[in-house]
Amino acid sequence: MATKNLLQAIHDGLAEEMRADETVMVMGEDVGRAGGVFRVTQGLQDEFGEARVFDTPLAESLIVGSAIGLSVNGMRPVAEIQFADFIPPAFDQIVNEAALFYYRSNGAYTVPITIRAPYGVVPGGALFHSQSVEAFFCNTPGLKVVAPTFPADAKGALKSAIRDPNPVLFLEHKKAYRLLKGEVPDDDYAVPLDRAKVHREGTDLTVISYGLMLNDVMLAAEKISGEHGIETEVVEPISLYPLDRETILSSAKKTGKTLVVSEANLEGSVSGEIAALVAEHAFEWLDGPVRRIGAPDSPAAPFAKPLTDAFVPSAAAIEAAMLELARY
Amino acid sequence: MAEPITMPQLGESVTEGTITRWLKAEGDEVEQDEPIAEVDTDKVNTELPSPLAGTLQKLLISEGTTVDVGAEIALVATGGEETPESPPREDAAAEAPTEEFPAAHTEAQPVASASPTARTETMPGGNGNGRSVADAEELRLRRSSPVVRRLAAEHGVEISSIPGTGTGGRVTKKDIESFVEDQEPAPKTPPEPARAAPQRVAAHDGDRIEELTGIRRAIANRMALSKREIPHAWTLVEVDMTGLVALREREKTAFMEREGVKLTYLPFIVQAAVEALRENPVLNSVWDGDRIVLRKKVNIGVAVDLEDALIVPVIPNADELNLTGLARRIDAVVKRARSGELTADDVSGGTFTVNNPGSLGSVASAPIINHPQAAILQAEAIVKRPVVVDDAIAIRSIMNLEVSFDHRVLDGGVALRFLNAVKRRLEEYGPESGTG
C-alpha cells in the first residue's frame, strides 16, 4: 500500500480501468495533450492513444452529449467537466437525456457514462471556480451523484462509477486534490456506490459530511474526544443521490443527535435532504435538533480572502457546533 | 347568581386541606370574612373565612373530606337575580375539568361562543410580562426530546423527576438512561400511579397501628423530600458560652420583670445567626433547579417541639429585631405553637431555620434541612467541661453548634465561616454586656 493524494488516486483509478476494459475512454477539455488542468489525466493519452483519450471543444453540452452517444454504442466514456461551475450547459444532456434514456427506451439502452467534475471552494476561485453543484442533480431519478472525499474511497468509487450501467456524476473536491493524502491499496478493489461509510464510531453525536469539510469534521472529532471525551460518529454518504438511508438512519438512531456539514449553501441542499430523512424516520430516537452547517445563501464564492473565509464553514465553527449539539 | 368558594392555599407547599367541620349550613347567610368552616392542613388547623357575602347555597364537600387546593367546596348565592341553574357554559366547564381538548360542537366546546377557559388557553401570551417565555421554557424542559419521551413512557418515569444535565437543565437521553439504570435493579414494578399504596410491613401480635395525622404526614413528607433531594453536609464547632451564661444569670430576673418574657439563650443564638447570615448570604438561599435564589428577607424558622410533632413557626424579618424583640417574638410563637393557635402565615416564608435540641439535653445531632432552605443551624446543650484555656485547665460552659447545609448550594468553607461568625458573636458576651 502506498500513500497517495486524491489526484493520484483518481488518476490511478482511471488508468487501471482503461487497462482492464478497452471500452473505457476519457474525454474533455485539455484532458489529452495537457493531461488536464489539475493533471488528473496526465500520461493517459501517451499510454492509451488519442482515440481513447481526447480533447474536446470548449462545449459542455457536446462533451456529455457525445459521451451519451458513445455509451449507447457500447463504450464506457469518462467525460470531464473542467470545473463543476461550467456544468449548466450540459444540464439538459444530463437530466433529460442521460438520466432518462434507460426508462425512455424501455430498458433497451443503458447509459454507462461517468461525468467527472471538480467542485468546491479554492482560494481565489471566486464565482466560477468554487461552486458546489450537487443539489442541482440530486433530484433527478435515473442519475447517480457520488462525492467521495478521501483518496482510497475516491479511487474505488470511480471504478464502481465506470462499471455502473447508469450515468454517474462523480464530484471531486478540487482543494482536496493535493491536500488529502492516504493509504491506497495497490490491488484492484471497488467501493460500492450504495453504501455510506462510517469513518469513525461514536456514541454522543453523528456528523454526516462530505467534501473537504469532512476532513475538518474528522479532526474536530479527534480533538473533542481528547479534550472533552465526546465521541463523534462520522458518516460520509459517498453517494449523495440516492442516499444510503440505512447507514445514515442507523447512526442517527444510535447517537440521537445529528449534524450535517457540507460546503454547499443550505436551502434546498443535500444537507436538507439528509436532515429531513433523519427527522422523518429517526424521530423517536432523537435527543436533539437535527442541525446543519453550510455556506450562506449567497452567490458562491467571494474572491477576497476574508470573504472566502467567512463564506466557507470554518473548522472552529464545525467544532463549536459539534460541542454544542453533544451537550444539548 | 351562585359563585364557588375554593379551597385556599393555606401556606407554602400546602397542596390540600381537610374540611373538619362546617360552621354554616346550607341556606345560612354569610358575611364576607365570616368563618364558614374549620380546615385542617398539613401545617395548621384554621378557620376558613368566606371570601364572599351571600347565602350559602350548597356545601360541595362533606366533613372529613380532603380536597386539593383550588377545588370548589361550596356555592354562595351572591344577591342579584336568583338563578337556580348556572348558565350551561359554566356547568360544562365544571363537569369536564379533565377534558383538555373537549370535542368540537359539544357543550364543552360550543361552536360559536368560546368558553372563558378556552379563550385564556388560546390567548397569545406575548403580553410583555415574560409569562409565555417561562411557559415555553418549562415545556421545553418537560418535553425534552422525542427519545427521552419514548424512554420515559417505556419505563414509566416522569421526565420532570430526573435531574437534567443538558442545555438549560434539559433531561438528555444519557440522563434518563442512567436514571433508569439506577432504578431498574429494584424488582421490576409496573409503572405506578402517583399515589401508590405504600408497602406494608408485617404486623406482629399486639402491634398498634396509628393512622397519620396531617402534621405527621407533612413532617414525614418534608423530611423524606429533604433527604432525597438535598445532598446534606454537616459540620460542628464548639462555642464557649461561659460569658453568655453569666450574663443570662445576672439579667434573667430583671429581664422577666421588665419585658414579661423569659430570657433564654435562643434569641442570642438567633441574633448571632442573623448577623452571620448577612456576612454569608449564601446560607440564606434556595436551590432552584439550575440556579440559586439568594433570599433578601431573613425569616428565621424556630423549631418547636410539640411532644408528638415538630413545628417550625417563622419570625419574619428577624434581621429588623433587636434582642428583646426577638425574645418577645420567639416567646409568642412558641406559646401559640404549643396551644395550637398558629396560623398559616406563622409557618410560611422561612428562609433559614434555627433548632435548639439542647433544650432537650442533646449534645450532638445532625439536623435535616428544612426543605427547600439551604441550611439549618443546630444549638446543642450547654455543658460544663474541663477545657484548656491559656495552657491551663479551666471549667467552661461549652456548647456544640452545628450546621447542616445543602452541598449543591455551598461548600464547607462558607459553612464554617458562618458557624465561626456565630461562635465569635456568642463568645463576645460577658456578664457586663447588655441585653438591649
Give the Cα separation of B301 and B299 in Å (integer): 7
Same structural domain, B276 and B388: yes
Which CATH number belongs to the domain containing residue A35 in this structure? 3.40.50.970
Task: Give the model confidence (pLDDT) of B288-327 as tens digits.
Answer: 888 999 999 999 999 988 878 888 999 999 999 999 999 9
Chain B hits for A285, Cβ within 8 Å = 146-147, 150
Do A150 and A227 share a domain, yes or no?
A: no
Size of interface A-B (CB pairs under 8 A): 27
Give the pLDDT confidence score for residue B119 in this predicted structure: 38
Question: A-chain residues within 8 Å CB-CB of B148?
Answer: 287
% of chain B with per-residue pLDDT over 90: 37
| Cα atoms in the 13 Å half-sphere on the side-chain side of B208 | 2
Instruction: For residue A233, give the C-alpha cell.
Output: 460518529
Query: How many structural domains are present in chain A?
Result: 2
Is A19 a member of any domain? yes
Residue A268 lies in a domain: yes
B3 forms beta bridges with: B76
Do A147 and A204 belong together in one domain?
no
Parts of chain A with a pLDDT under 50: none
Are B271 and B295 members of one domain?
yes
Domain of A292 in residue numbering reads as 197-327
- Does residue B231 lie in a domain region? yes
Own/partner contacts of A278-284, CB < 8 Å, gap of 24 or more, are A278/A248, A278/A249, A278/A252, A281/A245, A281/A249, A282/A249, A282/A252, A282/A253, A282/A258, A283/B146, A284/B146, A284/B147, A284/B150
For residues B287 and B383, state if they share a domain.
yes
In a domain, A281, yes or no: yes
Of the two residues B186 and B215, the one the predictor is more confident about is B215
pLDDT at B100: 39
Q: What is the pLDDT of residue B43?
A: 66
Report yes or no on A191 lying in a domain: no
B344-389 pLDDT tens trace = 888 889 999 999 999 889 999 999 999 899 999 999 999 999 999 8
Q: Assess whether A130 and A259 both reside in one domain.
A: no
Same domain, A172 and A27: yes
What mean pLDDT value characterizes chain B?
A: 81
We report the CATH number of the domain holding residue A268 as: 3.40.50.920
The answer as to whether B155 is a domain residue is yes
CA distances from B140 to A155, B136, B168, B174 (A): 47, 6, 10, 17
CA distance B111 to B302: 57
Q: How far apart are CA A275 and CA A272, in angstroms?
A: 5
Q: Are B96 and B169 part of one and the same domain?
A: no
Same domain, residue pair A151 and A292: no
| Res. B12 pLDDT band, cuts 50 70 90 | low
Query: Alpha-carbon distance B352 to B377, whole Å?
Result: 8
Query: Among A248, A215, A9, A219, which residue's Cα sits nearest to residue A120?
Result: A215
DSSP-assigned beta bridge partners for residue A304: none
- Cα torsion A177, A180, A181, A187 to 10°: value is -60
CA neighbor of B18 nearest in space, from B50, B77, B62: B62
With beta carbons less than 8 A apart as the criterion, state whether B308 and B337 touch: no
Determine, yes or no, domain membership for B196.
Answer: no
Domain's final residue, options A152, A184, A216? A184
Q: Is the pLDDT of residue B131 over 60?
A: no
Interface of A with B (CB under 8 A): 256, 283-288, 324, 327-328
Range of B50's domain? 2-122
Provide the CATH number for the domain around residue B96.
2.40.50.100
Residues A52 and A110 in one domain: yes
Q: Is B407 a catalytic residue?
A: yes
> Looking at A184, A213, A247, which one is the last position of a domain?
A184
Same domain assignment for residues A165 and A226: no
Question: Which residues does B240 contact at the CB level (< 8 Å), separation at least 6?
Answer: B387, B396, B397, B398, B427
On whether residue A189 sits in a domain, the answer given is no
> What's the domain count of chain B?
3
Q: Are residues B291 and B421 in the same domain?
A: yes
Q: Looking at the structure, do residues A214 and A179 belong to the same domain, yes or no?
A: no
Q: Output the domain CATH number for residue B283.
A: 3.30.559.10
In this structure, the answer to whether residues B53 and B168 fall within a common structural domain is no
The interface predicted TM-score of the complex, written ipTM, equals 0.71
Q: Which of A239, A154, A251 is nearest to A207 (CA)?
A: A251
Task: Name the residue type at position A321.
Answer: A
- Label residue B196 by pLDDT band (50, 70, 90): low
Q: What is the per-residue pLDDT for A103?
A: 97
Q: What is the CATH number of the domain that holds B146?
A: 4.10.320.10
Place of cell 433527604: B227
The verdict on B386 and B240 lying in the same domain is yes
Q: What is the mean pLDDT of residues B61-89?
A: 71
- pLDDT above 80: residue B84: no
Q: How confident is the model at residue B195 (pLDDT cuts 50, 70, 90)?
A: low
Is B114 found in the same domain as B135? no
* In contact, A144 and A135? CB cutoff 8 Å: no
Q: How confident is the model at residue B154 (pLDDT cuts 50, 70, 90)?
A: confident
Instruction: Tell me: do A201 and A310 sit in the same domain.
Output: yes
Q: Are residues A284 and A177 in the same domain?
A: no
Q: Which of A184, A216, A239 is the last residue of a domain?
A: A184
Domain boundary among B107, B122, B137: B122
With respect to residue A155, please indicate whether it lies within any of the assigned structural domains: yes
**What pLDDT sits at residue B108?**
41
Distance from chain centroid for Cα A148 = 5
Interchain CB distance below 8 Å, B147 and A286: yes
- Closest chain B CA to residue A280: B146
pLDDT at residue number B103: 43
Q: Where are the alpha helices (DSSP H) in A72-173?
A: 91, 101-104, 134-137, 151-163
Q: Is B232 in the same domain as B381? A: yes
Given B76, B97, B122, which residue is the final one in a domain? Answer: B122
Rg of chain B over Cα atoms, rounded to whole angstroms, equals 27
* Per-residue model confidence (pLDDT) at position B63: 82
pLDDT level of residue B123 (50, 70, 90 thresholds): very low
Predicted confidence band at B19 (pLDDT cuts at 50, 70, 90)?
confident
Grid coordinates representing B305 are 417541639
A256 contacts in B (CB within 8 Å)? 145, 147, 173
**Interface probe, candidates B145, B148, B177, chain A, greatest A C-beta count within 10 A:** B145
Q: What is the pLDDT of residues B103-117, one digit of tens each?
A: 444 444 444 443 344
Q: Which of B92, B122, B152 is the last residue of a domain?
A: B122
Best of A287, A291, A327 to disrupt the B interface (most B CBs within 10 Å) is A287
Residues B17 and B89 in one domain: yes
pLDDT tens, position by position, A84-117: 999 999 999 999 999 999 999 999 999 999 999 9
Q: Is there a single domain that holds both residue B308 and residue B166?
A: no
Specify the pLDDT at position B162. Answer: 87
3-state class of B58 per DSSP?
Answer: strand
pLDDT band at residue B212 under the 50/70/90 scheme:
confident
Same-domain status, A205 and A265: yes
Residues B323 and B407 occupy one common structural domain: yes
